[in-house]
Amino acid sequence: MRVLIAAIVLLAAAGCSTPPFPPAEQVSLDSVAPREMVERFRESMPEQFRVMSSIVFEFSWNKVTALGVIEVDRRLGTFTAVAMTPLGLKLFELSGSGEQVTQHFVFEAFAKRGNASAAIGEDIRRIYFGLVPSADARVKRTQTRITFREQAGAGVMEHVFGGAGGFLIEKRYSEDGVLVWRASYHTYTAAGGKAFPKGMVFENRRYGYRLIVTVKEVLA
């Protein structure tokens, strides 16, 4: 974990920025086979990586800028995450394995929001894991978007693919027709021979916050 914190300090020297992300290109997918597209996307994703990002937390009319480092191993289903302000104040330190999320440290302002701090760990998992639909998902398509829809627990999960690469551009979960959370992925780029989005936005409607992630560096 000391390596992660040192990386954040280096990232702070580069500063933070949260530019708006352009929408995915409107590219015709009429000739694309949905299952083949998903398989290509699966093969393009890195299994293990470290990502250094600037993060904006928006909650209760407040905005907090942070610098974060997250290490992910999709094969093992594990991650570690640290976020600090540009001045070096640690906001949280979390790790996850399977369905379990461990809070090693949470800043008091987040801790006061009760389960919201634990939700951040769950949302990190939602952003970086489960990015492809199951083989049983139903397919709905328009000229420029292909959506996979399936039952997930008490609700419905949707994976939306589009753009020039046919990559995942949105993942959303709803219950009783009401959106609970949504992740969007923007501007894919190559990292270690794999594809990785340079911008991500996660909206948690249940706890009323949003995370805007601008990727600075990916080590895959």
The DSSP annotation for 74-116 comes to TTTTEEEEEEE-TTS-EEEEEEEETTEEEEEEE-HHHHTTTHH
Question: What torsion, rounded to 10 degrees, do the Cα atoms 17, 22, 23, 29 define?
Answer: -120
Containing domain of residue 128, as a range?
A: 2-219
Cβ atoms of 41 and 29 within 8 Å: the answer is no
Q: What is the rounded CA–CA span in Å between residue 120 and residue 110?
A: 10
This prediction's pTM: 0.87
- CATH number for the domain including 174? 2.50.20.10
Domain count, the chain: 1
Residue pLDDT tens, the chain, 220 long: 554 444 444 344 344 444 468 888 899 999 999 999 999 999 999 999 999 999 998 887 788 899 999 999 999 999 999 999 888 888 889 999 988 888 888 877 666 655 656 778 899 999 999 999 999 999 999 999 999 999 999 999 999 999 988 999 999 999 999 999 999 999 999 888 899 999 999 999 988 889 999 999 999 8
- The DSSP H or E segment spanning 127 is helix 115-128
Contacts of 8 (CB under 8 A, 6+ apart): 52, 67, 68, 69, 82, 83, 84
